[in-house]
Structure 1
Amino acid sequence: MRRTKEDAELTKQTILKAAVDVFTERGVAKASLEEIARKADVTRGAVYWHFKNKMEIFDALHENLHTPFIERIMEGLEAEHPNPVGQLQELCTNIFLDLDQDEQLRKTLTLFMLKCDYSGDLKCSQEKHTTAKYDKIQAFSAYYKRAIKLGQLSADITPEDYTLAMNCFMRGILSEYLEAPEAFDITTKAPILMKIYFGGLRTDNV
Structure 2
Amino acid sequence: MLARPLKWKGIKKMARKTKAEAAATRDSILDAAEKLFAEQGVSRTTLQHIASAAGVTRGAIYWHFLDKGALFNAMFDRAKMPMDEAMQVLDNSRDVRDPLQCLRDDMMTVLRIVKEDEKARRVFEIATLKTEFIDEVDSVRARRRESIGLWQERMEGHLKQAQEKGLLRAGVSTVAAAQGGWIMVDGLIRNWIFEPTMFGLLELGGTVIDTYLNGLRS
Tell me the TM-score range normalised by the shorter chain: 0.7 to 0.9
Q: Which amino acid aligns with 1:126?
A: R
Is contact 1:17-1:104 (8 Å) kept? no
Shift in CA distance, 51/150, structure 1 to aligned 2, threshold 3 Å: farther
Shift in CA distance, 187/141, structure 1 to aligned 2, threshold 3 Å: closer
Whether 1:37 aligns to 2:51 is yes
Taking the aligned partners of 1:189 and 1:142, their CA distance within structure 2 comes to 25
Please say which structure displays the higher CA radius of gyration: 2
Taking the aligned partners of 1:119 and 1:5, their CA distance within structure 2 comes to 33
Offset of 1:97 from its aligned partner? 2.6
Whether 1:56 aligns to 2:76 is no
* CA displacement 1:152-196 (0-9 Å, x = unmatched): 224633432221100111122112201111222224322222222
**1:189 aligned to 176, 197, 204, which one?**
204
What stretches of structure 2 of length at least 5 have no aligned partner?
1-12
Q: Which amino acid aligns with 1:137?
A: Q
Taking the aligned partners of 2:139 and 2:73, their CA distance within structure 1 comes to 10
SS at match of 2:141: helix
What is the 5 A alignment of 1:20-169?
20-44=34-58, 46-48=60-62, 50-63=64-77, 64-66=79-81, 69-70=83-84, 72-73=86-87, 75-78=90-93, 81-154=96-169, 156-169=171-184
Is contact 1:145-1:159 (8 Å) kept? yes
TM-score (ref. length: structure 2): 0.73
Is contact 1:18-1:36 (8 Å) kept? yes
Offset of 1:49 from its aligned partner? 5.3
Taking the aligned partners of 2:20 and 2:97, their CA distance within structure 1 comes to 42
Cα RMSD for the two superposed structures:
3.1
Is contact 2:115-2:201 (8 Å) kept? yes
* CA displacement 1:118-160 (0-9 Å, x = unmatched): 2353445423432333233223322222222222224633432
Taking the aligned partners of 1:4 and 1:142, their CA distance within structure 2 comes to 48
Whether 1:176 aligns to 2:200 is no
Shift in CA distance, 26/176, structure 1 to aligned 2, threshold 3 Å: closer
Shift in CA distance, 12/82, structure 1 to aligned 2, threshold 3 Å: farther
What stretches of structure 1 of length at least 5 have no aligned partner?
none
Q: Which amino acid aligns with 1:183?
A: M
**2:31 aligned to 6, 13, 17, which one?**
17
* CA displacement 1:49-73 (0-9 Å, x = unmatched): 554332233234444133x633532
TM-score (ref. length: structure 1): 0.77
Shift in CA distance, 140/53, structure 1 to aligned 2, threshold 3 Å: farther
Structure 1 vs Structure 2: percent identity of aligned residues? 25
